[in-house]
Amino acid sequence: MVIEIKEVKPAKPVSRRISLHSHIRGLGLDDKGRALKIADGLVGQEEAREAAGIVVQMIKEGKMAGKGILFVGPPGTGKTALAVAIARELGEDTPFVVMSGAEIYSTEVKKTEVIMRGVRKAIGIRVREVRKVYEGVVTQIKFAYVRHPFNPYVRVPREARLTLATKDDSLTITVSDEIATQLIRLGVRRGDHIWIDAETGVVNKVGRVKGIEKAKYYDIEPTRYSEMPTGSVKREKEIVRVFTLHDLDVYFASQRLALTELFGIELEKEISSDIRKSVDELVKKWINEGKGEVVPGVLFIDDAHLLDLEAFAFLTRILESEFAPILILATNRGMTKIRGTDIESPHGIPLDLLDRLLIIPTRPYTREEIRDIIKIRADEEEVLLTDEALERLTDYGVERSLRYAVQLLRPAAIVASRKGKVKVDKEDVEEAAKLFADLKQSVEMLKKYEELFLK
């Protein structure tokens, strides 16, 4: 007998999306609020990080009402990184919304509506509910099927009978076709730890528990294992969910949309103030009843000098509102005109708003700091560098810009891989630099060939 053995081709690697600030974990401060030289993905900027740490403490103590933050510094000095670090310090479920000053100018919706959506997305509501649930590990499960009412060749679940067990209890229940369908869709089987909301019938799969009789286990499974639950199967469970005000706005607006479509009325693209007022009243009710609490998030607006007077006035009013996020602005401009006016102001921001902002300056990085930042980014992007390549990238970071040096990492890695090399060396970096120009080189080329470009 001949046994045929087929070669299994290796699976295509899944690419990992790496953002520019994915390496940042926090502000990198010690217990006394002093900045460590290199920590949590941040390098240098000790004074700015310590100032940001004070801001985080003020936010946690509820002392930031009516105030905002402004990061001011040359391009590539870590202003966005500091804003991300503040959000990381505030907690995992803290909403973090990033906008550019140019984003508010839309042909479809008003400027104030774009800003308001960003504001509402940056305010979270943590809702706690005590619900009656059935929770345990599935030890038996069986489905009953019937023919589909419109297609006799298709079977659909009519009900399911399952046994849930804990360390202290065991209960067999029968569930309806809607819940049975959820169980099938989630792939629930013996050994799965689940809970079912007794009121809504929503099924939640927690994980798997080892040691269940007749349950099948694999050496590698795309799921996490949990401990065997204790207590009764039928119990009361506190459920915590986090929404944003914008999520609730959209939900209320969608309900109104259903009614307006029923009567043939076209809904406006903007969410009306009446809907947002209803959402605010509901949130206040949850807070008064102890069911919910506000999670103030961060609204970060980069290139704040691109905003105009109307936008600045709207942000000033937002800072004074009852539900206000932590407003962080950033700009690399000095004395400049406020957009749309002939009024010169520091950073292109009106003085009445500047008075409400805690201004945190950032300074240019030293050569050593630039080298450390490039090392961190190379590790994050899994690019192996020789010492000579690291020094050459550092030269580019000092002579041209840090952003340019960081952007050369991936092209240089591709150049090296095409040569069959594992590590990127100095020649690979220089070859990538010849292919991709920096800002200064681009300007020089424009001046040299100015007559050839279209005007």
Q: What is the distance between the alpha carbons of residues 75 and 362, in angstroms, rounded to a whole number? A: 10
Instruction: Say if 222 falls within a structural domain.
Output: yes
1: in domain? no
Task: Judge whether 365 and 377 are in contact, CB under 8 Å.
Answer: no
Say yes or no: 372 and 355 in one domain: no
- In-domain check, residue 22: no
Q: Are 283 and 302 in a shared domain?
A: no
What's the confidence (pLDDT) of residue 353? Answer: 86
CATH number of the domain that residue 228 is part of:
2.40.50.360
Q: E strands within 210-325?
A: 234-244, 292-296, 298-302
Q: Give the end of a domain, one of 332, 361, 390.
A: 361
Q: Give the gyration radius of the chain's Cα atoms.
A: 29
User: Is 111 found in the same domain as 75?
Assistant: yes
Does 256 lie in the same domain as 228?
A: no
CATH of the domain at 49: 3.40.50.300
62 shares its domain with 162 = no
Contact 191, 212 (CB under 8 A): yes
CB atoms within 10 A of CB 153: 6
Q: What is the pLDDT of residue 263?
A: 43
Residue 28 has which token pair?
A: 């990198």
Same domain, 231 and 278: no
N- to C-terminal Cα separation, the chain: 78
Residue 11 lies in a domain: no
Q: How far apart (Å, rounded) are the C-alpha atoms in residues 42 and 21? A: 10
Phi, psi of 135 (to 5 degrees): -130, 135
> What's the one-letter identity of residue 105?
Y
pTM: 0.68
Which domain range does residue 413 map to?
Answer: 367-440
132 and 184: one domain?
A: yes
Quote the pLDDT of residue 22: 62
Do the domain assignments include residue 26? no
- Establish if 27 belongs to a structural domain: no
User: What sections of 175-223 are H helices per DSSP?
Assistant: 177-185
Q: Are residues 280 and 344 in the same domain?
A: no
Q: Is residue 277 part of a domain?
A: yes
**Residues 217 and 148 both lie in one domain:** yes
Which 3 state secondary structure label does DSSP give 403? helix
- With vertex at residue 288, the alpha carbon angle to CA 286 and CA 293, rounded to the nearest 5 degrees, is 55
Cβ-contact 73, 361 below 8 angstroms: yes
Cα–Cα separations (whole angstroms), residue 410 to 19, 136, 220, 361:
13, 48, 32, 30
Rounded to 10 degrees, the C-alpha dihedral 307/308/312/314 comes to -110
Mean pLDDT of successive 10-residue stretches along the chain, which has 455 residues? 40 47 76 82 84 86 81 85 85 81 78 86 84 88 85 82 89 88 87 86 86 79 80 84 84 67 51 83 85 83 87 85 84 87 87 87 88 86 88 88 87 90 89 84 77 69
Asked if residue 132 and residue 237 are part of one domain, the reply reads: yes
Q: Pairing state of beta strands 96-100 and 123-147? A: unpaired
Establish if 413 belongs to a structural domain: yes
Count of domains in the chain? 4
Q: Does residue 305 sit in the same domain as residue 273?
A: no
Q: Rounded to whole angstroms, how far apart are CA atoms 196 and 202?
A: 6
Within this chain, do residues 277 and 351 fall inside the same structural domain, yes or no?
no
Reference 301, options 126, 83, 53, 52; nearest CA is: 83
Residue with tokens 């100095």: 426
CATH of the domain at 422: 1.10.8.60
